[in-house]
Amino acid sequence: MRNFIFCALLMFFSACNDNSEVENIEEPLLTFVPNQILQASRSDEDLVLMLHSNFEFDYSLVVFDDNDQVIFRNEQAMTNVLEDGWRPDIDIMFGEYKYEIQYQDRGLKSLDGRVSYGITLGTFEDLKVYIPNAVVQSASNVEYAVLLMYSRLDFRYDLYVSDRNGNVVFESTSAKANSLIDGWRPVNVQAGTYSYIVNFDLAGIETEFTGDVTVFE
């Protein structure tokens, strides 16, 4: 979509300047700042707030939260460079954030606006999660020794594990998807079957998974 916008604008200006009698016409500077970024997408450009342009130049980017506290600052960003923009980390809440962009173009130019950060319904419907049904205490590969939730998205979730008598043997209220450190590694429990509850909230949609996991020695 963004490439289409740039192409359309460039075609428009090219048509306006397609005159052999007109010479030395300076190419206009085109800039674009997205009004929405996503937590997950097939395109990295959808994940980052940055300044797009048909020219390469330095700019500064500052992002604020609802309390006007600076949560991101890069005073030496380069246009069209994903690594120089703001890509919200996992602890950033969905919502709207204010930004300020400044750059030099025949004088100081300033762009102020708001960007919406979240996850689209289509993305949520494509959400894939995986929770293993067995873990092995003596596994040499730690991935086989930990109960956790895998997903193609990074987000926080709650994990509760209980034994056959309903006693909670493990809980984490801020586990990170795909993180072995945040999962349950049953090192001091007996082998057997345990029950788990996983719940999380994405874009205001509460989801819960329950199931059993078998612990092998």
Residue range 40-66, pLDDT digits in tens:
776 788 889 999 988 899 999 999 998
Q: Tell me the torsion sign for CA atoms 68, 71, 75, 76.
A: negative
Domains of the chain: 29-118 (2.60.40.10), 123-216 (2.60.40.1220)
- The token pair at 142 is 């730690």
Alpha carbon distance, N-terminus to C-terminus of the chain: 53
Question: For residue 10, what pLDDT band results from cuts at 50, 70 and 90?
Answer: very low
Tell me what pLDDT residue 22 has.
46
Residue range 109-155, pLDDT digits in tens:
888 888 888 766 455 555 667 888 888 998 888 888 999 988 877 78
Tell me what pLDDT residue 60 has.
95
Mean pLDDT of the chain: 82
Tell me what pLDDT residue 181 has.
93
- Is residue 13's pLDDT more than 60? no
Residue % of the chain over a pLDDT of 90: 38
- Is residue 161's pLDDT more than 80? yes
- Report the predicted TM-score, pTM, of the whole model to 2 decimal places: 0.55
Tell me what pLDDT residue 79 has.
94
Residue range 165-200, pLDDT digits in tens:
999 999 999 899 889 999 999 988 999 999 999 998
Between 80 and 121, the higher pLDDT residue: 80
Cβ–Cβ < 8 Å for 94, 65: no
Cβ–Cβ < 8 Å for 178, 148: yes
Question: For residue 24, what pLDDT band results from cuts at 50, 70 and 90?
Answer: low
The H-assigned helical ranges of the chain are 2-16, 121-125
Residue showing tokens 């819960």? 208
Task: Say how far residue 116 (Cα) sits from the centre of its chain.
Answer: 12
